[in-house]
């Protein structure tokens, strides 16, 4: 036990980048097969080295950092990008790492299910022309004057998918008030480090893309169907059914109408590597 704690403290003292590299194998165990652990870790370490505030947040609470990276790894999304943001968040007076799925991450999960040929997510600004009548129009008509110097403030955001059979999914259209409600439900959205402050347009798009996942298959749903089918075959053959991957379990409730940043890291450090737990004792 003493040796384990000593090793954990030693890894932590080397900095958050060293800790991420140290636990590459733990991250690799939960990644989908298409993700390369070396690339994932290199990108995560790179974003920590580029952002001093993020590095300090990771040093303050390694458990929160590892929780965010585990979430990204399970989803097969790239950390530190618009697929999966890593941002510092002030909690009880100190910075800690928060993982937030971005709009490109939402779109990636839709594509990965294999049911759609394209996903369209766009914002509408004041100078744009936008027409869409549900029940009459199959898809929105969005006209942009690309010569105008300033298209104006954000007004609407919409998202839909074209299925592989050519059909159009439900069209999601949200106005400023609806996006504002989603933002208000997102913990830490008023923080200067939040992507709502730094990447407002991208977060509008994330809001619409997240709502679209209610109407089109996502990779999590696809995996659940595969597991269900395998279980039925196993039952017929009288063999043990497959165990659901952790990713499927974790995404069970991800497509509700709740907070758009519902992928927040919890404080429970049970089950995390010893190095991550060693740095979490100061958190109440």
**How confident is the model at residue 130, as a pLDDT?**
98
- Please tell me what DSSP assigns to residue 182: H
Chain length of the chain: 284
pLDDT value of position 207: 96
**pLDDT value at position 220?**
57
Give the pLDDT of residue 239.
55
pLDDT at 72: 95
Phi-psi category of residue 77: left, alpha or beta, with phi > 0 → left and psi -120 to 50 → alpha: beta
* pLDDT score recorded for residue 229: 60
Which residues are CB-neighbours of 42 under 8 A, at least 6 positions away?
Answer: none
Q: Of 135, 174, 182, which Cα lies nearest the Cα of 154?
A: 174
Say how far apart CA 154 and CA 139 lie, in whole Å.
Answer: 20
Contacts of 45 (CB under 8 A, 6+ apart): 17, 20, 21
Q: Which pLDDT score, from 0 to 100, does residue 264 have?
A: 33
Q: Which segments of 76-218 does DSSP mark as H helices, in order?
A: 103-112, 176-184, 195-198, 200-212
**Is the four-CA dihedral 68, 255, 83, 262 of positive or negative sign?**
negative
Sign of the dihedral defined by the CA atoms of residues 163, 204, 69, 257, in that order: negative
Contact 100, 85 (CB under 8 A): yes
Under 8 Å between Cβ of 97 and 86: yes
- State residue 15's pLDDT score: 80
Distance CA 173, CA 175 (A): 7
Whose CA is closest to 22, among 198, 201, 279, 230? 279
pTM over 0.85: no
Q: Which of 163, 150, 158 is closest to 131 using CA atoms?
A: 158
pLDDT score for 76: 93
pLDDT at 265: 34
Calculate Rg over the CA atoms of the chain: 21
Residue with tokens 């390694």: 62
- State both tokens at 5: 């704690």
- Residue 184 CA to residue 118 CA, distance in Å, equals 30
Successive 10-residue mean pLDDT values, the chain, 284 residues: 44 78 93 92 94 93 94 94 92 90 94 93 98 95 96 98 96 97 88 89 96 86 55 62 45 40 38 44 38
């Amino acid at each position: 036990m003493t040796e384990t704690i000593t090793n954990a403290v030693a890894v932590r003292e080397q900095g958050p980048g060293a800790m991420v590299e140290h636990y590459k194998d733990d991250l690799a165990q939960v990644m989908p097969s298409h993700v390369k652990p070396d690339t994932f870790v290199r990108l995560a370490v790179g974003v920590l080295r580029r952002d001093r505030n993020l590095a300090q947040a990771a040093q303050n609470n390694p458990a929160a950092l590892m929780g965010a990276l585990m979430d990204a790894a399970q989803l097969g999304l790239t950390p530190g990008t618009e697929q999966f943001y890593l941002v510092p968040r002030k909690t009880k007076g100190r910075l800690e790492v928060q993982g937030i799925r971005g709009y490109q991450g939402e779109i990636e999960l839709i594509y990965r299910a294999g049911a759609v040929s394209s996903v369209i997510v766009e914002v509408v600004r004041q100078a744009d022309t936008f027409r869409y009548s549900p029940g009459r129009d199959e898809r929105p008509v969005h006209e942009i004057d690309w010569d105008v110097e300033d298209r104006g403030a954000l007004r609407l955001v919409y998202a839909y998918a074209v299925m592989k059979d050519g059909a159009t999914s439900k069209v999601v259209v949200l106005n400023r008030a609806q996006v504002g409600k989603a933002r208000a439900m997102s913990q830490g959205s008023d923080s200067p480090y939040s992507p709502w402050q730094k990447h407002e347009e991208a977060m509008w798009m994330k809001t619409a893309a997240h709502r679209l996942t209610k109407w089109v298959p996502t990779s999590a749903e696809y995996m659940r169907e595969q597991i269900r089918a395998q279980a039925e075959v196993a039952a017929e053959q009288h063999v043990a059914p497959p165990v659901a991957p952790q990713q499927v379990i974790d995404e069970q409730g991800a497509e509700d109408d709740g907070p758009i940043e519902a992928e927040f890291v919890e404080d429970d450090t049970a089950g995390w590597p010893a190095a991550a737990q060693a740095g979490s004792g100061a958190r109440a």
